[in-house]
Amino acid sequence: MDYRNLGKTGLKVSPLCLGTMNFGWVANEPDSYAIMDRALEHGINFFDTADVYGAWTTHAGACEELVGRWLAQGGDRRDAIVLATKVYNPVVRKEGRAEPNRDTRCYSRLKIIRHCEDSLRRLGTDRIDLYQFHHIDRDCPMDELWEAMDVLQQQGKVAYVGSSNFAGWDIAHACMAARAMNKPGLASEQSVYNLDNRMVELEVIPACRGFGLGLIPWSPLAGGLLGGYLEKMKEGRRAGKQKNKLAAAKRKQIERYETLCRELGEKPADVAHAWLLANPVVTAPIIGPRTIEQLDDALHALDLNLEPKTMEELDAIFPGPGGEAPNAYAW
């Protein structure tokens, strides 16, 4: 495994990040444990979760609790991984009146510190290696966010700070605010990024490059559209109505894409991951395997180097926004 630095930091992470959002429901708990164990066997040391994961099944925080039970099995599990989680969403719902500093999507120094303590408890650990702002809250002063993170870092509870779903100017604002306070600033940005959704190329990727952030793409397979969707449909697999509607609207593109992948002799998912990994700003796409077999298959993308001609063909199929701003839309 060739490890990469997370942005400008000295933190070494694997070039694939294990996403845990499917754990506990799409993959049951024993299977989730097995996937995490296999990830370590492969040398994948970068694990990503969030305090809100599990809210759509049993309760918010359920995923962190599952990861915590896996860590509690001992061995060198905790020290072997770079553990990332997030803060922003409501986690604990109480009966009756909602508590604004816990039960709403927002930030405050009080909420960040409180939610960090809750995540540490659920995960059964004394530190979070990468604590990420899950979304932007423009009603909270950026200085207040950094004051909260400074407290947690001084206490040794947080090692690095990242963002997720930030606009380019949010990244710049956050990094400049940190610089004014003599703080390291953001280490990474986690954004949706894949062949079918390239909007971050306008301003987020330039901001990451300019401020030295590592980009962690989520949904690298566009919710399965880039994972051999049409071929799987021919095999009789089912998908939801919304996914089928989206696939129908993009059918010509997906057909061209899957044809190209067949010509290359590669699986569509591997090509999609390899395309992301070819971008020097990208640190590690987040993979969300539901089985050990899917995890094993994902490793092939690390050995797949796409030729310039192939990259051009992919650009022709999925042209993106036309480059970086402002050149993408102005002279």
Please tell me which residue in 53, 107, 160, 193 is annotated as part of the active site: 53
Query: How does DSSP assign 186-235, residue by residue?
Result: --EEEEE-BTTB-GGGTTHHHHHHHHTPEEEEE-TTGGGTTTTHHHHHHT
Q: How far apart are alpha carbons 212 and 280 in whole angstroms?
A: 11
Do residues 87 and 51 make contact, with C-beta atoms less than 8 angstroms apart?
yes
Question: Are the beta carbons of 299 and 42 closer than 8 angstroms?
Answer: yes
Q: In the numeric block, which tokens belong to residue 17?
A: 């990040």
Question: Mapping DSSP to helix (H, G, I), strand (E, B) and coil, where does residue 180 land?
Answer: helix
* DSSP states along 90-113: -----SSSPPTTTSSS---HHHHH
Instruction: Give the torsion through C-alpha atoms of 35, 41, 43, 45, to 10 deg.
Output: 50
Strands (E), the chain: 4-5, 12-13, 17-19, 46-48, 82-87, 128-133, 158-164, 188-192, 214-218, 286-287
**Three-state SS at 132:** strand
Asked if 115 contacts 137 with a C-beta cutoff of 8 angstroms, the reply is: no
Query: Which H or E run includes 68?
Result: helix 62-71
Tell me whether residue 33 is one of the annotated catalytic residues: no
Q: What is d(CA 156, CA 162) in angstroms, rounded to the nearest whole number?
A: 16
Would you name the residues annotated as active-site residues?
53
